[in-house]
Structures are given as C-alpha cells and as structure tokens.
C-alpha cells in the first residue's frame, strides 16, 4: 500500500489545492507555514531605533517578526506609528549608569502590534515569550543615552554642511548624538573686532573647534582678534 509523503522542509506551491484530500490538508498547510517561518523569522521592515533625548529612544513604525526562544512559533507584528521608549519599559530592576541596554520588540499579547522592552540581556528580555532584538544603546556615567545602534542595518551615514559663527555650536544631524559624529571646519569670513574683514596682508588666522564650539580669529595689527564665521561639515554614522 502506498500513500502520499509530505516534506516539512519545502514550500510546496501545488499544495494545498481544491483537489487535496481533507486528511492531507493539515500536513500541507503546516509544511508551508513552517517554510514561511524559516524565511521570515528574522524579518524586520522599516522599524528602527533612533536617539530621541538623553532619556528616551524612538522606535519607528514598521514591521517585525517576533519568535519564541525555540523559533517554533513566529508572530508577525506591525506598528503604524512611532513608539517613544522610556525607562518605565525596563523588564527588570531600574535604570543604571555606565550600562549597555538592548531594545526588544515583544508580541506577547494577542493583537496586531508589538510593544517594546528595554533589557540588560542581549539574549532575551526577562519574562517575555515572543520577541525580536531591535538594537542597543549605552547609558553613560551621567545616565544619558548615547551610542544608539540598530541590529539589522548597515551603517547609516549622514553628511550635513553649513556655517557657524565664532562661539557658536555646530548642530548635530537629526537623530544623531555627538559620539556618533565627526566634523571639520574652515574659515569663511574672519573679522578683527571693528577693523574690517580678513585682508591678504594679515599674518595669520585660526579656525578650530573645542568640542563642537567654533573658535575663529585673525592676527592683525599685532594682536589676535576673534570673530567671524566658518564653514563646517559634520558626518554622522549609526551602526
């Protein structure tokens, strides 16, 4: 006696069909669902984490697949709006300084959306069953969030340019913090305190930053005179 054999390892486009025996229907659907889960178990669309403030993170809208620890059950979830993540979302304990934290999408409730949990664990959030790791951040010695990193994306590079005046601060690109950025400056327009703009016979010019604060000055009439503007280029990198 022979019978049909169904493999759990392949997506079978021919099954189930209208002609499939009812007794074989469950096996066909199970095989195809298992294949889909293997394909999409690490799926993440649009959802990313972004720096919002020294105490909050933004998880943007999008889709994510959350699985149990064995990977045997996968729940697909979608948020249509951004989520603001605060320290009230910690899985255990309370905020600690000088600590790396991980952000997890969680699908433990029977709804179409996911929630977000913060955890010190890089393997699984405490007390959660269905989850997916979104990324991590560092809470520095001053208990300020920095070094925000997404898990599944290539480094995101943003370049911003403009001008800044003496004593002014180079602005950070939106969504980036200072530790994720590098910058350079060059003199644009230097003055010497009422003596006019920088002239070709002036003997020196200084243009640099302390942190992101600009310092620009001209040496003229036997003295250094501060003032003027500089061009800047700031490069932000999120890994």
Ordered DSSP codes for 157-212 = EEEEEEEEETT-BPPPPTT--GGGEEEEEEEEEEB-TTS-B--TT--EEEEEEETT
pLDDT for position 153: 60
Q: Please classify residue 108 by burial: count the beta carbons closer than 10 Å to its beta carbon, then call 0-12 exposed, 13-18 middle and 19+ buried.
A: middle
Domain extent at residue 191: 156-238
How many domains, in total, are found in the chain? 2
- pLDDT per residue over 85-128, tens digit each? 999 999 999 999 999 999 999 999 999 999 999 999 999 999 99
Q: Using 50, 70 and 90 to split pLDDT, how confident is the model at 27? A: confident
Specify if 15 maps to a domain.
no
Of 150, 170, 202, the last residue of a domain is 150
Do 53 and 143 reside in the same domain of the chain? yes
Average pLDDT, the chain: 86
Tokens linked to 50: 């972004």
Report residue 221 as tokens.
């009439």
The model's pLDDT over 148-191, given as tens digits with 9 standing for 90+, comes to 888 866 667 888 899 999 999 999 987 788 988 999 999 988 76
Question: Nearest to residue 106, comparing CAs of 65, 149, 48?
Answer: 65
Do 48 and 124 belong together in one domain? yes
Instruction: Look up the CATH number of the domain holding residue 217.
Output: 2.60.40
How many CB atoms lie under 10 A from the CB of residue 181?
18
Query: Where does a domain end: 150, 182, 203?
Result: 150
Residue 6 reports pLDDT greater than 50: no
- Does 235 or 221 have the greater pLDDT score? 235
Per-residue pLDDT at 41: 87
The secondary structure element, H or E, covering residue 23 is helix 22-40
Average pLDDT over residues 195-220: 77
pLDDT given for residue 200 in this prediction:
47
Q: Is residue 222 part of a domain?
A: yes
pLDDT of residue 237: 85
Measured distance CA(210)–CA(217) in Å, rounded: 14
pLDDT at residue 26 in the model: 79
**Vertex 141: Cα angle to 138 and 142 (nearest 5):** 100
Instruction: Assess whether 209 and 233 both reside in one domain.
Output: yes
Residues 120 and 218 occupy one common structural domain: no
CB 177 within 8 A of CB 51: yes
Whether residue 83 has pLDDT greater than 90: yes
What pLDDT is stored for residue 119 in this prediction?
A: 98
Q: pLDDT-derived band of residue 219, with 50, 70 and 90 as boundaries?
A: confident
């Amino acid at each position: 006696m022979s019978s049909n054999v169904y493999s759990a390892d392949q997506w079978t486009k021919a099954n189930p069909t209208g002609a499939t025996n009812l007794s074989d229907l469950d096996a066909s659907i199970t095989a195809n669902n298992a294949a889909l889960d293997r394909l999409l178990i690490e799926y993440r669309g649009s959802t990313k984490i972004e720096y919002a403030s020294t105490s909050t993170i933004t998880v943007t809208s999008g889709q994510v697949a959350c699985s149990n620890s064995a990977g045997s059950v996968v729940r697909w979830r979608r948020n249509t709006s951004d989520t603001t993540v605060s320290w009230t979302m910690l899985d255990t304990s309370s905020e600690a300084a000088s600590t790396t934290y991980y952000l997890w999408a969680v699908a433990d409730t029977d709804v179409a959306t996911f929630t977000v949990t913060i955890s010190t664990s890089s393997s699984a959030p405490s007390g959660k069953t269905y989850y997916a790791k979104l990324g991590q951040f560092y809470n520095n010695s001053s208990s300020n969030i920095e070094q925000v990193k997404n898990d599944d994306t290539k480094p995101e590079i943003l370049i911003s340019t403009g001008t800044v005046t003496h004593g002014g601060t180079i602005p950070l690109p939106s969504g980036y913090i200072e530790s994720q950025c590098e910058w350079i400056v060059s003199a644009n327009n230097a003055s010497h305190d009422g003596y006019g703009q920088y002239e070709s016979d002036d003997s020196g010019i200084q243009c640099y930053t302390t942190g992101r604060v600009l310092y620009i000055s001209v040496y003229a009439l036997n003295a250094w005179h501060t003032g003027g503007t500089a061009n800047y280029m700031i490069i932000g990198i999120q890994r």
